[in-house]
């Protein structure tokens, strides 16, 4: 890139402008410095260091074994390779629900490792933490719908918000998170029509993963996008390596598909 076309770093102010302009926001998981550079070159807006690393990087069956030290390590790796993306780090299971002071300390560790924002699962029950972190200057992303850290309580990988009461809970949780200061909210495995209504009710972006085309943006797990994750393929994923000559081209095709509202298609939604 020359100076005239040099990409500017994506920050919260950038995301807000994109949201207000109706430009879809592209999020993708990232776990190391090399792929951080690839995602920069491909035009990814937000790099999510997801606790999904427990499954795709460490080989666990769930995200539950991931530790705060794991999250700090991978966040630092991504940050070192990052030039342009907004770096968003997950708070792992057990790092934020037991003790609020400990949760704040863990969020600080992630920010010191290079995160620009932290994400944690839950609705009304995590709003006090969201409020406290945002008051401290730590931006927060919420995560509702299917919440992987609650897989044992949910009883499996099921779509959330299919009933009227479920939809009302999603709406109440997202509105509460917004009021508590969250800057955006991930909607995972939520019926497309419900995700649309939730998105329209909020004044902050929603990022869908199995939430349909009408969310403010989309997120995928990098390994799913590349078609290299073993096991059953989730409905909401697409192998962007098909027809691509390189990993960089596959990621760029994902970015283009989200920006042009070509992904997700109906077959990727619930």
Long-range contact pairs involving 51-56 (C-beta distance under 8 Å, separation at least 24): 51/90, 51/92, 51/93, 51/148, 51/149, 52/90, 52/148, 52/221, 53/29, 56/29, 56/31, 56/221, 56/222, 56/223, 56/229
DSSP state of 257: H
What's the confidence (pLDDT) of residue 111? 98
Catalytic residue set: 188
> Per the annotation, does 52 bind a ligand?
yes
User: How many structural domains are present in the chain?
Assistant: 1
Q: Report whether 267 belongs to an annotated binding site.
A: no
Q: State the pTM of this model.
A: 0.95
In a domain, 4, yes or no: no
| 262 annotated as ligand-binding | no
Work out the mean pLDDT of the chain and round it to a whole number: 94
User: Is residue 1 domain-resident?
Assistant: no
Q: Is residue 48, in this structure, part of any structural domain at all? A: yes
Q: Is 207 helix (H, G, I), strand (E, B) or coil?
A: strand
Instruction: Say if residue 2's pLDDT is above 60.
Output: no
- What's the pLDDT score for residue 155? 65
Mean pLDDT computed over 156-168: 83
Domain range holding 112?
10-266
Does the CA dihedral 245-246-252-258 come out positive or negative? positive
126, part of any domain: yes
Whole-number Å distance between alpha carbons of 240 and 228: 11
Per-residue pLDDT band at 97 (split at 50, 70, 90) = confident
pLDDT classification of 267: cutoffs 50, 70, 90: very high
What whole-number distance in Å separates Cα of residue 19 and Cα of residue 42? 20
For the segment 103-155, what is each residue's pLDDT rounded down to a tens digit?
999 999 999 999 999 999 999 999 999 999 999 999 999 999 988 887 777 76
Task: At 47, list the tokens.
Answer: 């790099």
User: Which CATH number fits the domain that encloses residue 195?
Assistant: 3.20.20.60
Answer yes or no: is pLDDT of 69 > 50. Answer: yes
Is residue 119 part of an annotated ligand binding site? Answer: yes
Please answer whether residues 142 and 37 qualify as being in contact, where contact means their C-beta atoms are separated by less than 8 angstroms: no
Answer whether residue 36 is part of any domain.
yes
**Which residues, 6+ apart, have CB-to-CB distance to 76 below 8 Å?**
113, 114
Q: Which of 53, 39, 50, 178 is closest to 118 using CA atoms?
A: 50
Predicted local confidence at residue 1, as pLDDT: 43
Is residue 2 a part of any domain in this protein?
A: no
Pairwise CA distance, residues 234 & 117, whole Å: 27
125 inside domain: yes
* pLDDT recorded at residue 157: 67
Mean pLDDT of 26-49: 98
CA dihedral 200, 148, 75, 118 (to 10 degrees): 40
Rounded CA-CA distance 255/267 in Å is 18
């Amino acid at each position: 890139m020359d100076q005239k076309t040099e990409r500017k770093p994506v920050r919260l102010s950038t995301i807000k402008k994109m949201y207000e302009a109706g430009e879809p926001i592209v999020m993708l998981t990232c776990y190391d410095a090399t792929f951080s550079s690839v995602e920069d070159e491909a035009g990814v807006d937000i790099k999510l260091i997801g606790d999904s690393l427990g499954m795709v990087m460490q080989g666990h069956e769930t995200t539950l074994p991931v530790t705060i030290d794991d999250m700090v390590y991978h966040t630092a790796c991504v940050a070192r390779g990052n030039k342009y993306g907004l770096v968003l780090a997950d708070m792992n299971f057990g790092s934020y629900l037991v003790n609020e002071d400990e949760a704040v300390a863990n969020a600080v560790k992630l920010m010191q490792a290079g995160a620009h924002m932290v994400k944690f699962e839950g609705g009304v029950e995590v709003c006090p933490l969201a409020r406290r972190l945002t008051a401290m200057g730590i931006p927060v992303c919420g995560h509702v719908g299917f919440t992987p850290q609650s897989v044992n309580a949910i009883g499996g990988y099921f779509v959330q918000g299919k009933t009227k009461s479920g939809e009302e809970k999603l709406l109440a949780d997202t509105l509460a998170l917004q009021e508590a200061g969250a800057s955006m909210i991930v909607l995972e495995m939520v019926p497309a029509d419900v995700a649309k209504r939730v998105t329209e009710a909020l004044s902050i972006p929603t990022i869908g993963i199995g939430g349909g085309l009408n969310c403010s943006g989309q997120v995928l797990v990098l390994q799913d996008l590349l078609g290299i994750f073993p096991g059953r393929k989730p409905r909401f994923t697409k192998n962007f390596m098909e027809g691509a000559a390189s990993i960089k081209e596959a990621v760029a095709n994902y970015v283009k598909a989200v920006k042009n509202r070509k992904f997700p298609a109906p077959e990727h939604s619930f």
